[in-house]
Amino acid sequence: MNYFRRIILKKLFFTALIITLYLPGSAYAEDTNSPEETFHLCDIFEYEHPVKKGEDEKKWSSVIAGSYIRKTGNTDTRRTNYSASIQYDDNITSFKAVFAGFYGETLDIPDENRGSITANYDRYLLWKMELFSYSTSEYNKITGLIHRNESGAGLKYVFIRNRYLLIDLSAAPILQYEKYEDVGPERD
């Protein structure tokens, strides 16, 4: 049975790989007048040097989202989700901050109350080397987590960077801090 399962999984993997490689190229293969827009399989593995965006190109973006769901009947539930983000990217320097929160009740008893904020900063130093830092803070009232913070900074080596793919290897020391309600001393 395992033999047939492996054969099926291999066929599915290769089919998905071929579709993944073909679909991005099919969107650019229609315009044959411009050699820059023609897709070649080797384009996926190229490294395109980051070039700073011009004054008229989009560098800032932001998103605000939320949802509210209310169900009544045998079980009365209420769910609220909200998030906001802001991002700056000029291809050399990027910064992103994201906030997300979740609140839920079942029969007027809170069963979800958590949130998080994440901030990332990336900056190209050399040809394929990038300096990065990040910090994530979160809380979860249902589990008793008052505050958890994970922060780190390190270097990133970029192998492949183009409009189809970004592959890099990163390493950073991480400091994690947690504080829970009535559990005892804080832990680092």
Domain check: are 146 and 66 in the same one? yes
Report DSSP state, residue 3: H
Domain check: are 11 and 68 in the same one? no
The one-letter amino acid code at 167 reads I
Which of the four pLDDT bands, split at 50, 70 and 90, describes residue 28? very low
Tens of pLDDT, residue by residue over 157-187, are 988 888 888 888 999 999 999 998 875 565 5
Closest to 134 measured CA to CA, from 144, 121, 145 = 121
Residue 44 domain-assigned (yes or no): no
Which of the four pLDDT bands, split at 50, 70 and 90, describes residue 45? confident
Domain check: are 12 and 59 in the same one? no
Number of folded domains in the chain? 2
* The pLDDT value given to residue 11: 73
Strand partners, 96: 87, 120
pTM above 0.95, yes or no: no
Note the residue count of the chain. Answer: 188
Range of the domain at 161: 49-180
Tens of pLDDT, residue by residue over 126-153, are 878 999 999 999 999 999 999 999 999 9
* DSSP track, 121-161: EEEE-SSSEEEEEEEEEEEETTTTEEEEEEEEEEEEEEEEE
